[in-house]
Amino acid sequence: MGDITTVEADAIVNAANTSLRGGGGVDGAIHRAAGPQLKHECITRFPEGTETGAAILTKAYNLPAKNVIHTVGPKYYEYESRVERAQELLSSCYRRSLSLAHANGLTSIAFPSISTGIYGYPIEEATKIALEQTRSFLETPEGQNFQRVIFVVFSEEDFAVYRDALPEYFPPSPSDTVSDVANP
């Protein structure tokens, strides 16, 4: 539980909107902490923005992380009659972010809880997708290069969901502990 803008990693993931211009929640916090150069890079390099489920890489500017991976999660309320499609898009956010990090030689990444804020994705379902996609990727040859994957949540309620689901996807060894504060 903590503030993703304070995490030192090769990349933090931004739960972006399709315009890549900043917004509310995690997106706004990352843009504010990174400084105006982040918005300028997004506008200059990606004038059309990006699509839901995609991931793009920028510099991190004033953040302690080295890079920002922007991914656009689904607005759950737009897919209530097509839940499978929402699951596919959210899964794509995690897979593409991890693939992009790997393709750029990054070995540590921090994720927020994508789409669970204003986009309304139920936290329990979103957490399972996040952990399942991360576990699946880490089991591939490309995933072997990662040294650290961090999930950073903002609320105690979200932390409890991640804490309870984590052992199902990442069974603890005797020396593992789950921290309640993001201390990269």
Counting residues of the chain whose pLDDT is more than 90, the rounded percentage is 88
Closest to 67 measured CA to CA, from 105, 21, 17, 96: 105
Which residues have a Cβ under 8 Å from the Cβ of 164 and sit 6 or more positions away?
A: none
| Residue 177, domain member (yes or no) | no
| Residue 159, domain member (yes or no) | yes
| Residue 175, domain member (yes or no) | no
pLDDT of 129 over the 80 cut: yes
pLDDT of 92 over the 50 cut: yes
* pLDDT value for 81: 84
Closest to 31 measured CA to CA, from 55, 51, 1, 4: 4
How far apart (Å, rounded) are the C-alpha atoms in residues 71 and 8? Answer: 19
pLDDT of 48-87, one tens digit each?
999 999 999 999 999 999 999 999 999 998 987 899 999 9
- pLDDT band per the 50, 70, 90 thresholds, residue 178: low
**Under a CB-based contact definition with an 8 Å cutoff, are residues 105 and 57 in contact?**
no
Domain boundaries, position 99 = 4-169
Enter the pTM of the model: 0.92
| Residue 107, domain member (yes or no) | yes
pLDDT of 18-27, one tens digit each?
999 998 899 9
pLDDT of 134-174, one tens digit each?
999 999 999 999 999 999 999 999 999 999 999 999 988 76
| Residue 86, domain member (yes or no) | yes
Number of domains in the chain: 1
pLDDT averaged over every residue in the chain: 93
CATH of the domain at 62: 3.40.220.10
